[in-house]
Amino acid sequence: MTRSSTAVRWLYLLAAGFTAHCATNTVRHHAPGYALGLATVTVLLVVAAIREYIDADERRAAAVRAERAARLRAIADQRDIRRAADALLVNGTCCERWWTSCGFHHDPDTCTRKGTTR
């Protein structure tokens, strides 16, 4: 939860408290129409505060999921780089296609190691 979402949520609740206070005062002054309108605004502000809370929680969960996915991609990339480096060290130099494919494929026409995967 960020500070801004917390501040917005508290502003909604403060406004709801104020409109609830105004609604009770209008009831005391025999203006039920205004009281009903202010009570409706109070309910809407409370709903907005609840939605802000839920949305902030969903945003936080989405950020966690995105960070986890980025870490998994980085680990997979490191694994691929490691595999390519290992292939270069184990197999030594070979044909041009072998170099351009980071040691995974050989040129089927000219390479002496054609038929091998590494």
Residue whose CB is less far from Zn ion, 5 or 91 = 91
98 CB-contact burial (10 Å; exposed 0-12 / middle 13-18 / buried 19+):
buried
What minimum distance in Å lies between the beta carbon of 82 and Zn ion? 21
Residue whose CB is less far from Zn ion, 33 or 92 = 92
Please tell me the count of residues contacting Zn ion according to CB under 5 A.
6
96 CB-contact burial (10 Å; exposed 0-12 / middle 13-18 / buried 19+):
exposed
28: part of which helix (H) or strand (E)? helix 3-28
Site stretch for Zn ion (CB under 5 A), options 15-23, 55-63, 69-77, 99-107: 99-107
Binding stretches for Zn ion (CB under 5 A): 94-95, 98, 106, 111, 113
